[in-house]
Amino acid sequence: MTLIPELLPPLPGEVLHARVARTLRDAVQRGVLVQGARLPGHRTLAAQLGVSRNTLVDALAQLQAEGYVSAGERSGTRVAVPPASAFAPAAQSPLPLSAWATRALAGRITDAGGVYAVDFRVGQPVPDLYPAGAWALALARRAGQASSGQLGLLSSTEPGLNESGPNELGPLETRRALAAYLNAERGARVTPDMLMLTGGTQWALDALARVFLEEGRVAATEDPTYPGARAALAATGATLLPVPVDDQGIDPAALPPHATLLYVTPGCQYPTTAALPAARSQAVIAWARACGALILEDDYAADLHHTARPPAVMQGLAPDRVLLLGSFSKSLAPVTRSGYLVAPPEVVRVLAGTRPLTDRAPGVMDALALADILSSGAYARHLRRARQNIRHRHDTLLEALATHLPGWQPTPARAGLHVHVMLPPHLTETDAVTLARRADVALTPAAPLAVLPRPPAVLLGYAHLSPEAIRDGIRRIGESEL
């Protein structure tokens, strides 16, 4: 006799016939109802399950459509498939990860987490840097006006040169607005065909790494450097060579004889915040020309220079060699996942060719909203306010350090959202983190960002904190030290 299972407990939102189907399917998969077994007649089976005949008929129709049961005039309803175990592997085998995935997972830096009274860790969202009103208005306006062309699927003809709809580079309108902005504000040399909108800098780093790197090739990075860049480059299997950074940024004399890519942050070295002098920029470009390397210039602090007019980007000096990576993660909000890549047109064409494999094209609504806030002046107004705020917080942090932790040596930062602080000789980074934690304060140790040995230092992210919280946090660490 065929054993009929009890109805499984209901799932949220599940209707009764779906629950009956799930119960019978589960019984087939577990081998309780074996292949070839004949189910009782509808009336009997419905009674055994405690449901109406109509409900049972609906459930059996579903199972028949899925191929779990077959029904014939004479043969009745029979189980049509073997139990799931018949298809299961003999033993639980590990996932067949690629070498890329294995390296990518190994390269991750995970944060220890935790909630603190004052949290100076870098990478925190800065609510004041999100122009909610202007962004919402621009998005609503664009969403309301979107034409069918803009909403259409990717057009894969000549990518993105004369269309405003989705294409691999992003709407022309946005690239025009962005090119004008970068030429005027960052000293870049950009035309719209050199611009691709990205899902943030990390997207661009990954795309470029996969296009230019592989095992056997060499990529050079500043040391210390941004872990997101190191991870994306290393995941390709290329050899990574660290180039030391001093208080003026990367040392051109220490560049390797050859590399395919060099990752740099000349405007505001991450994490030391040093600005690269022009002579060094020229030397780095000369090196790249001599050995055929491409330079990836991460201009992450582009719009967050808060003391003086920002230095012009390196890309403006050598648009044929330097690829400029920019992001609105810091100047709008990381959730916008919005950034750009400036590259020689031949590089852009390659990326336009590979992009359809990843995400086809950047999101059009966000891109058009970006065009609006750039060309209406809303972005510039927002930045003026944000820079004033950040500068005030930066100066508050330096004053608080001088008062409460005079042995700690901050490098005044001209840009960005954190300050790099050298520790006094008697303190290790672990000591400093422990000391702070005892005072319910969190900070970021600098050592994990470097491969080469460096004097102990910590990073204090301050832009997301009020001046009161900044003073309080530093005072707490100072008292904890006593």
C-alpha distances out from residue 71 to 40, 53, 117, 221, Å: 12, 16, 66, 66
202 contacts ligand PLP (rule: CB under 6 A)? yes
Question: Which C-beta is closer to ligand PLP: that of 397 or that of 449?
Answer: 449
| Contact flags string 65-84 toward ligand PLP, x per CB under 6 A | --------------------
Least Cβ distance, residue 297 to ligand PLP (angstroms):
11
- Give the residue carrying structure tokens 């590399």: 259
Q: Residue 130 interacts with ligand PLP (CB under 6 A)?
A: no
Tokens 């480059």 sit on residue: 233
Q: According to the binding rule CB under 6 A, does residue 270 interact with ligand PLP?
A: yes
Burial profile 424-446: b = 16 or more Cβ within 10 angstroms, e = fewer: eeebebeebbebbbebbbbbbbb
Cis amide linkage into residue 345, ω under 30° from 0: no
CB 336 → ligand PLP: shortest distance, Å?
Answer: 9
Stretch touching ligand PLP by CB under 6 A, among 197-205, 340-348, 366-374, 430-438: 197-205
Q: Closest Cα partner for 197 from 176, 228, 177, 168?
A: 168
Closest CB 262 distance from ligand PLP, rounded Å: 15
* Interaction of residue 170 with ligand PLP, rule CB under 6 A: no
Could you tell me the smallest distance in angstroms from the CB atom of residue 89 to ligand PLP? Answer: 38
* Token pair listed for 54: 């109509």
Strand bridging mode 322-327 / 339-342: antiparallel
Residue 298 binding ligand PLP, by CB under 6 A:
yes
Stretch that binds ligand PLP, among 164-172, 195-203, 247-255, 346-354 (CB under 6 A): 195-203
Q: How far apart are CA 326 and CA 308, in angstroms?
A: 20
Q: Could you give the C-alpha distances from 204 to 69, 240, 278, in angstroms and in order?
A: 50, 18, 26
269 near ligand PLP (CB under 6 A): no
Task: Give the nearer residue to ligand PLP in terms of CB position, either 339 or 478.
Answer: 339
Return the ∠ at Cα 405 (arms to 399 and 411), rounded to 5°: 60
What phi and psi, each to the nearest 5 degrees, are found at residue 132?
A: -55, -45
Interface with ligand PLP, residue 123, by CB under 6 A: yes
Cβ nearer to ligand PLP, comparing 337 with 475: 337
Q: Are strands 444-445 and 457-461 parallel, antiparallel or unpaired?
A: antiparallel
CA atoms within 13 A of residue 309's CA, in its CB half-sphere:
5
- Contact between 62 and ligand PLP (CB under 6 A)? no
Q: Shortest CA distance to 120 belongs to which of 441, 438, 456? A: 441
User: Per CB under 6 A, does 327 bind ligand PLP?
Assistant: yes
Token digits for 203? 């997207």
Q: Which of 166, 316, 334, 461 binds ligand PLP (CB under 6 A)?
A: 334
Which of 135, 212, 226, 340: binder of ligand PLP (CB under 6 A)? 226
Query: Closer CB to ligand PLP, residue 265 or residue 272?
Result: 265
Tell me whether residue 370 or residue 405 sits nearer to ligand PLP (CB atom). 370
- Cβ at position 199, least distance to ligand PLP in Å: 8
Which residues contact ligand PLP by CB under 6 A? 123, 200-202, 226, 265, 270, 298, 300, 327, 329, 334, 339
